[in-house]
């Protein structure tokens, strides 16, 4: 069956400035790297509906984000490097809308799995706080959409971005219907993600020391994370797909290779086949070396398309 690629050019209009690592060129690099792969169908991302957003973000926060968007030039929101521009709200709405739409399509059998090639990323955004280049927590919005719109009971969110998904953890740490597993470098922004942060038994953090390479990364997922997913028996798996643990990435010091992303995607896809009829939706998070990002995203999508 088909792997769906969900994207919208509004995501390119989120203007962070020439020197900002979270640039429109990231998505352009990803799309350029996967365009010749077989088994893909490209679909436009809709804008998220307000009801989809308010399952995670309170109305007051949504209104504050909308008010903060400048009519021209650039500004910041909540953190100095959370740059926003006139196109930022539309881009963020497409990202949140993309994952809800992708879930709808996969649940309807229109695609076997999906990858959302959108920006800005989302996993640092808390319910009422923008953080780490993120405005809305896309993967959290997707999880709540799956539960509310499709009556799914158990959602697993797997996050292999090099930075801890603090926002996703904060949103779900009191909700055992969502399993959140994150591998990430420690110490590193945002400074959270320790093993003793377990929520209600539904949070599993896999901190990695700087200079960690493929063997340790694969061991943590194989021997700790994947058994936890099997025990949880999810109805849907969502992936926060950050590619910034690559050894070329400038924002961290983990030493993964491109093929590690192919490997973990194949393993997650096999888990999805085992647990939930292959239902798997991934969304782009980090990855700031354009060449490494392109190669890693290609490995990820190629593995999805081969599942």
Q: Are 7 and 32 in contact (CB under 8 A)?
A: no
Helix ranges (DSSP H) in 233-289: 258-276
Nearest to 297 by CA among 2, 1, 5: 5
Which is catalytic among the residues 112, 124, 145, 163?
124
**Torsion from C-alpha of 102, 108, 111, 113, nearest 10 degrees:** 60
Q: How many CA atoms lie within 13 A of 246 on its CB side?
A: 25
In order of 35, 166, 239, the CA distances from 182 in angstroms are 29, 9, 10
Q: Is the dihedral of CA 160, 162, 167, 173 positive or negative?
A: positive
Say what the alpha-carbon torsion angle 145, 166, 194, 286 is, to the nearest 10 degrees: 100
- Is 150 a residue of the active site? no
Catalytic machinery residues: 124
């Amino acid at each position: 069956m088909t792997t769906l690629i969900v994207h919208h050019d509004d995501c390119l209009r989120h203007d962070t400035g020439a020197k900002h690592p979270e640039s429109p060129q990231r998505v352009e690099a990803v799309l350029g790297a996967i365009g010749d792969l077989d088994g893909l169908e490209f679909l436009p991302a809709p804008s998220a509906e307000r009801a989809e957003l308010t399952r995670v973000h309170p109305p007051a926060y949504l209104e504050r984000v909308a008010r903060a968007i400048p009519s021209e030039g650039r500004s910041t929101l909540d953190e100095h490097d959370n740059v926003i521009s006139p196109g930022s709200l539309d881009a963020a709405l497409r990202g949140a809308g993309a994952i809800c739409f992708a879930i709808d399509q996969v649940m309807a059998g229109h695609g076997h799995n999906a990858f959302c090639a959108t920006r800005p990323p989302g996993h640092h955004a808390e319910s009422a706080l923008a953080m780490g280049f993120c405005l809305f927590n896309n993967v959290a919005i997707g999880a709540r959409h799956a539960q509310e719109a499709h009556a799914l009971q158990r959602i697993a969110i797997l996050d292999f971005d090099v930075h801890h998904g603090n926002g996703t953890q904060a949103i779900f740490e009191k909700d055992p219907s969502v399993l959140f597993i994150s591998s990430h470098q420690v110490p590193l922004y945002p400074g959270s993600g320790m093993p003793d942060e377990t929520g209600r038994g539904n949070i599993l953090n896999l901190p990695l020391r700087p200079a960690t390479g493929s063997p340790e990364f694969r061991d943590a997922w194989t021997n700790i994370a994947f058994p936890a997913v099997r025990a949880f028996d999810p109805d849907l798996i969502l992936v926060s797909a950050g590619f910034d643990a690559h050894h070329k990435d400038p924002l961290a010091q983990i030493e993964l290779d491109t093929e590690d992303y192919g490997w973990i995607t194949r393993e997650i896809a096999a888990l999805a086949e085992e647990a939930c009829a292959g239902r798997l939706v991934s969304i782009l998070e980090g990855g700031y070396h354009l060449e490494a990002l392109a190669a890693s995203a290609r490995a990820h999508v190629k593995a999805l398309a081969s599942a």
